[in-house]
Structure 1
């Protein structure tokens, strides 16, 4: 059996989720700051595409991936719901929706890691 990197991928996603949550928190904290431009982190799929994590392939059809740290991006006008007269582009509703997405993704990440951990423990116990 080859190496399994699910825990590494889950760890990277948890780091990405933490960075995204910090960015969302910063946007919410500056919701009333004149001229503040909302920001977000680049999507996890792009981060995962650039990672140096080597995937174990059990089939020639499997894809490898390679990566980098999370970068902050400015929110494009088309991604923002409202721009206030003060030049502030933070929409509290949009930021709360993003925070909900982060919460759901973190719960899913944690559930997958728990299930995978139980599966490994079960296979080790049955192999003894």
Structure 2
């Protein structure tokens, strides 16, 4: 039996959140580095829009092919006042993003746990 699509979606979001968390942590770590440009990843909604839903092959005669999307941290557009050091990191924004990432991880985990419990209940009857 192939994995349910919700588990695949949750896995992709977890990977995306990990990359975003690394980007935010790097921004915070370089907050005092002269000339450092803050980075972030594109929103998960855009990643989903780029990767359309695919049908899964349930029989050997079906065509298939799954590719993994790459999540890359890119420099953010910065419109605020530039620091004398030309650093674009705003710690308050980065800390807000860190909190948002934590909440998203918790929500993702809660949804997977609930769906897993429903699957177990359905199998047990």
TM over 0.5: yes
Task: Give the superposed CA RMSD.
Answer: 2.1
Deviation string, structure 1 residues 72-127 (Cα, Å, up to 9, x no partner): 2211123xx5531110000111100000000000000000000000000000000x
Q: Does the 8 Å contact 1:10/1:109 carry over to 2?
A: yes
Q: Distance in 1 between matches of 2:124 and 2:112?
A: 18
Structure with more contact order per residue of length (Cα contacts < 8 Å, sep ≥ 6):
2
Structure-1-length-normalised TM-score: 0.81
Deviation at 1:46, TM superposition (A): 1.1
SS in 1 for 2:74: strand
Q: With structure 2 as the length reference, what TM-score do the two structures score?
A: 0.82
- For the pair 1:75 / 2:76, whether they are aligned, the reply is yes
The 4+ residue runs of structure 1 with deviation greater than 6 A are none
Q: Secondary structure at the match of 1:77?
A: coil
Note the alpha carbon deviations across 1:30-72, whole angstroms, 9 max, x for none: 000000000100110111122365267xxxxxxxxx9721122
The answer to whether the Cα contact below 8 Å between 1:23 and 1:40 also exists between their aligned partners in 2 is: yes
User: Which runs of no fewer than 5 residues in structure 2 stay unpaired?
Assistant: 57-66
Which residue matches 1:96? 95
**Do residues 38 (structure 1) and 34 (structure 2) align?**
no
5+ residue gaps, structure 1: 57-65
